[in-house]
């Protein structure tokens, strides 16, 4: 799931890996002909602004409603249409034996690790030392936070001449979860969010890139039937050693047997999904092929076969 900053950079909001179609860079529609055109244009512009603000609030509130993109891209009907030859998204694995032996853990961002909301801006960027569960928020100054602490921080995103404040809450147990995963895996955050938002958020969470080795954003997703999907084969890693954790199974529909679905998180301070996930990840880190274990544990392929609406039929090919 990702925070949605549209292609024309005029809106920011959440959607379950929802894509947008091609359109004008400024997101405007063609002017009509005839009398009263100026008044109509002004009314349409005002209505459009109201719609954009409504989209921001609805999406950032975590709405599960699905809206058709205003401008849909040409429908991509088969897996072959979507998966085109391209260079790997990640750099080559390091030459050391430890680096070569380490599997890859792909983590979604929004509603998996954090929850963000939009507010009026600007705000002063909260410093990493005072803001994030990674850097020390949740406990007293200079001390690490309690393991289950929920941290909060804010930063500004400038879009279309306006400044928006993004307010972020981290999922409980995020710090010990990432600390442990960084020792077991090559950790990658792969998000359907725009880089202008996600990069700033990750800079606060992990300013030294000590825990999260690589960052992959929306422009590396595959657009399939209006959704942003994460093709793990594009990472350039052996899929037998790749695991993805995402609150939207549709997002990893091309490689269902590599995925761990996790409950979406918004504001429950008692949530312990990340902590409970660690034993499974520790087992997967020692496995030669993660896919049989994950396929048996979650049976996502059977779930999709019983409910085809959960994913395009071509996922099952």
Distance CA 249, CA 297 (A): 14
Q: What is the β-pairing status of strands 2-5 and 12-15?
A: antiparallel
Q: What is the β-pairing status of strands 186-190 and 214-216?
A: parallel
Out of 4, 55, 59, 108, the active site residue is: 108
Closest among 234, 224, 243 to 289, alpha carbons compared: 243
CA dihedral 46, 27, 219, 18 (to 10 degrees): 50
* 110 beta partners: 114
Out of 4, 59, 110, 206, the active site residue is: 110
Residue whose tokens read 């975590």: 62
* 222 beta partners: 229
Burial 218-227 (b: 16+ CB within 10 A, else e): bebbbbbbbb
Q: Decide if 271 is catalytic.
A: no
Q: Decide if 38 is catalytic.
A: no
Q: Looking at the annotation, which residues are catalytic?
A: 108, 110
């Amino acid at each position: 799931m990702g925070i949605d900053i549209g292609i024309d950079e005029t809106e920011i909001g959440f959607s379950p890996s929802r894509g947008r179609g091609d359109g004008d860079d400024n997101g405007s529609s063609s002017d009509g002909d005839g009398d009263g055109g100026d008044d109509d244009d002004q009314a349409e512009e005002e209505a459009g602004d109201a719609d954009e603000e409504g989209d921001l609030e609805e999406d950032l509130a975590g709405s599960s409603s699905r809206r058709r993109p205003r401008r849909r891209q040409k429908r991509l009907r088969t897996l072959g249409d979507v998966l085109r030859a391209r260079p790997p998204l990640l750099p080559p694995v390091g030459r050391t034996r430890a680096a070569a032996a380490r599997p890859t853990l792909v983590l979604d961002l929004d509603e998996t690790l954090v929850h963000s909301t939009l507010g009026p801006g600007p705000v002063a960027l909260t410093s990493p030392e005072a803001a994030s569960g990674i850097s020390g928020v949740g406990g007293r100054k200079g001390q690490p936070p309690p393991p289950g602490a929920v941290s909060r921080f804010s930063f500004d995103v400038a879009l279309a001449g306006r400044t928006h404040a993004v307010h972020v809450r981290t999922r409980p147990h995020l710090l010990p979860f990432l600390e442990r995963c960084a020792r077991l895996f090559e950790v990658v955050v792969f998000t359907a969010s725009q880089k202008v938002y996600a990069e700033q958020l990750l800079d606060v969470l992990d300013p030294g890139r000590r825990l999260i080795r690589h960052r992959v954003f929306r422009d590396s997703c595959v657009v399939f039937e209006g959704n942003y999907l994460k093709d793990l084969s594009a990472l350039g890693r052996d899929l037998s050693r790749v695991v993805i954790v995402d609150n939207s199974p549709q997002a990893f529909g091309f490689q269902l047997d590599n995925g761990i679905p996790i409950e979406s998180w918004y504001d429950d301070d008692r949530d312990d999904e990340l902590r409970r996930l660690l034993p499974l990840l520790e087992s997967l880190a020692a496995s030669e092929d993660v896919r049989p274990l994950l396929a048996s544990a979650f049976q996502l392929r059977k779930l999709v076969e019983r409910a085809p609406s959960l994913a395009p039929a071509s996922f099952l090919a």
